[in-house]
Amino acid sequence: MSLATVILCGGSGSRLWPLSREAYPKQFLNLTCGQSLLEETIARVSQLGGAGKISVVSNEEHRFLVAQSLEVRKDLDRLPIILEPVGRNTAPAISVAAMQAIENDPDSILLVLPADHVIGKSDVFVEAVDKAKAAASEGKLVTFGIVPDSPHTGYGYIKANIAGSDSAPVEEFVEKPDQATAQTYLDSGKYYWNSGMFMFRADRYLQELKKFRADIYEACEKAYAGRQADLDFMRVDKAAFEACPDDSIDYAVMEKTQDAVVIPLDAGWSDVGSWSTLWEIQEKDGSGNVKVGDVITEDVEGSYIHSEGRLIAAIGLKNHVIVETDDVVMVADKDRVQDVKKLVAQVKAQDREEYRFHKRVHRPWGTYEGIARSERFQVKRITVKPGGRLSLQKHHHRAEHWVIVSGTAKVTRGEEEMILTEDQSTYIPLGVVHRLENPGVIPVELIEVQTGSYLGEDDIVRFDDTYGRA
């Protein structure tokens, strides 16, 4: 039986706002080391002996971010990235991945991993995966239970009587408890945090799904049957997948099957699910503070303070979280960080851009960042990576002025083509078809000044696009 690893990459990470945003959520952020959480997960998979095929389930908007993260690991044998047209929770996502794995190898064993977790002890994780393979080969549906080190109220729990063995049948899944209940779980030694990581034969998972949630199985089967290839991606049928019920693997399968087993994992795990958990896993100063970026404190204890640019100076605080970005400053009591998503809901309800985008917006060709904006003009800093090219496009309501700051740009303007280098510029009149490319080996940086009656990102007509965007 061959191993197929499935990385679930569809989360929004709203509780880590304002660093994590809808268009660039936490799995793509460098929060604990020099790599993003997704890149850490991919590197962890590469440490497995015979890691087999690797597949990622992502939403449409993040597809190029996922592709870029995978591109650096040439050693991994990749299946096409599965694109979900809409989010339908983990049970459907894993179902489509299982169908893809079976098509590649009918005897596939799936290792299912979220993209946004931290595991401090990779060697212990590898050992646990090896143990899980044996149970999965026998038809068991394995969940990895995290050995708890505190009465945490932010996780669901799994009850199992391990009693010194490698695994044990699941006795019960329980929801997030209150503090007193969590303490009884910890004291009993029979409860484990629900990690959201699984291993099972792909065919066994589908058998159990069909048994307990035939509606999900049938919708996913139809969605997979209507799949289409697109570059490095696989698009499932949109209408069929949209019709699929929304449910987690826990509710749909794991809580109902008689073949669920737990393998304990004590490997420095964290789901990095909130600012308090990020504070827990990072190095602290003598006052128990985690300070990231330009931070000065006086009489501050037990706090997480993160600056993306500006100096944060704090006095007389205890147990607080302060996070600064270019466009947001968020302050919270560390015991209330689970409620950050309520702030995000307010920002979204007011139709503000800050819930969705950072000031620096990532595109498959590079990035752009707003510098200044008024009623009839906007200034952006644009970076085009080597080999990157924007779509061939025009605008109905704005003209653009481009000034090259560094690198070499190839510009299409109507019937003209030109090469521009540092300190050179061009003007794109309203309605003229144009394109910007980087034919060089270093990034192109330029300043774009837009002028016109409407400056929204939806004022674009694409005639050709390397990345398959509409």
> What gap in Å lies between CA 124 and CA 442, rounded to an integer?
40
| Same domain as 331, residue 372 | no
Token representation of residue 314: 């704090």
| Same domain as 177, residue 126 | yes
For the ranges 47-56, 213-222, 226-235, 336-345, which has the lowest average pLDDT? 47-56
Q: Is residue 310 part of a domain?
A: yes
Chain-wide mean pLDDT for the chain? 93
Last residue of a domain, one of 247, 270, 293: 270
pLDDT attached to residue 51:
57
**CATH number for 400:** 2.60.120.10
The per-residue pLDDT for range 164-204, each reduced to its tens digit, is 778 899 999 999 999 999 999 999 989 999 999 999 999 99
For the ranges 58-67, 243-252, 294-303, which has the lowest average pLDDT? 58-67
> What gap in Å lies between CA 176 and CA 179, rounded to an integer?
10
| Same domain as 175, residue 28 | yes
Q: Is residue 278 part of a domain?
A: no
Tokens 């979204």 belong to residue: 348
Q: Is residue 276 part of a domain?
A: no
Q: Tell me, rounded to whole angstroms, the distance of Cα 274 from its chain centroid.
A: 14
| Same domain as 212, residue 87 | yes
Q: Is residue 420 part of a domain?
A: yes
The per-residue pLDDT for range 323-347, each reduced to its tens digit, is 999 999 999 999 999 899 999 999 9
Query: In this structure, what DSSP letter does residue 44 have?
Result: H
Last residue of a domain, one of 224, 246, 270: 270
| Same domain as 380, residue 338 | no
Q: Is residue 279 part of a domain?
A: no
Q: At 103, is the secondary structure helix, strand, or coil?
A: helix
Q: Is residue 450 part of a domain?
A: yes
The per-residue pLDDT for range 432-450, each reduced to its tens digit, is 999 999 999 999 999 999 9
Number of residues that this document lists for the chain? 470
| Same domain as 186, residue 46 | yes
Amino acid at 70: L
> What gap in Å lies between CA 219 and CA 241, rounded to an integer?
6
Domain count, the chain: 3
Cα atoms in the 13 Å half-sphere on the side-chain side of 459: 15
The per-residue pLDDT for range 357-394, each reduced to its tens digit, is 888 888 889 999 989 989 899 999 999 999 999 999 99
For residues 77-104, give the mean pLDDT: 93
| Same domain as 119, residue 64 | yes
Tokens 């190898």 belong to residue: 105
**Cβ partners under 8 Å of residue 215, min gap 6:** 244, 245
| Same domain as 117, residue 72 | yes
Query: Does residue 458 have a pLDDT over 90?
Result: no
Last residue of a domain, one of 346, 374, 389: 346
Q: Could you tell me which of 90, 58, 57, 95 has the C-alpha nearest to residue 246?
A: 90
Question: Under a CB-based contact definition with an 8 Å cutoff, are residues 253 and 214 in contact?
Answer: no
For residues 267-273, give the mean pLDDT: 92
Question: Under a CB-based contact definition with an 8 Å cutoff, are residues 292 and 305 in contact?
Answer: yes
Q: Is residue 352 part of a domain?
A: no
| Same domain as 147, residue 18 | yes
| Same domain as 265, residue 290 | no
Q: Is residue 469 part of a domain?
A: no
> What gap in Å lies between CA 136 and CA 142, rounded to an integer?
7
**Cβ partners under 8 Å of residue 292, min gap 6:** 305, 306, 307
**CATH number for 223:** 3.90.550.10
pLDDT attached to residue 468:
78
pLDDT band for position 53 (cuts 50, 70, 90): confident
Query: In this structure, what DSSP letter does residue 58 have?
Result: E
Query: Does residue 215 have a pLDDT over 90?
Result: yes
Q: Containing domain of residue 406, as a range?
A: 360-464
| Same domain as 212, residue 164 | yes
> What gap in Å lies between CA 174 and CA 34, rounded to an integer?
35
| Same domain as 248, residue 105 | yes
> What gap in Å lies between CA 216 and CA 244, rounded to an integer?
6
> What gap in Å lies between CA 450 and CA 399, rounded to an integer?
6
For residues 288-316, give the mean pLDDT: 97
